[in-house]
Amino acid sequence: MSESNNKLSRRHWVAGAGTVGTLAAAAAVLPQVLKSQAEPVQTAAAPDTSAGYRLSEHVKRYYQTAKV
């Protein structure tokens, strides 16, 4: 009967070790999750209201290379 109790206690020990490992991993990750939630959300920059399309030098070069 003592062999049965011995196996049972080993099972509990292994299950407990797995639980402790899981809790340790969660404790390591939790501060990072809380920190990311505590940071203020950055607002999107206002859209550029100046003239939309500009024919700049790099656009002109692209048009030259795209000619067929």
Domain boundaries of the chain, sorted by first residue: 1-37
pLDDT of residue 62: 92
Q: Which two tokens stand for residue 60?
A: 């002109």
- Distance (Å, whole) CA 25 – CA 44: 34
Q: Which two tokens stand for residue 42?
A: 């950055």
- Across 42-65, average pLDDT: 79
Comparing 3 with 19, which gets the higher pLDDT? 19
pLDDT of residue 49: 64
pLDDT of residue 61: 93
What is this structure's pTM? 0.38
* Placement of tokens 């939630």 in the chain: 37
Average pLDDT, the chain: 76
pLDDT of residue 57: 92
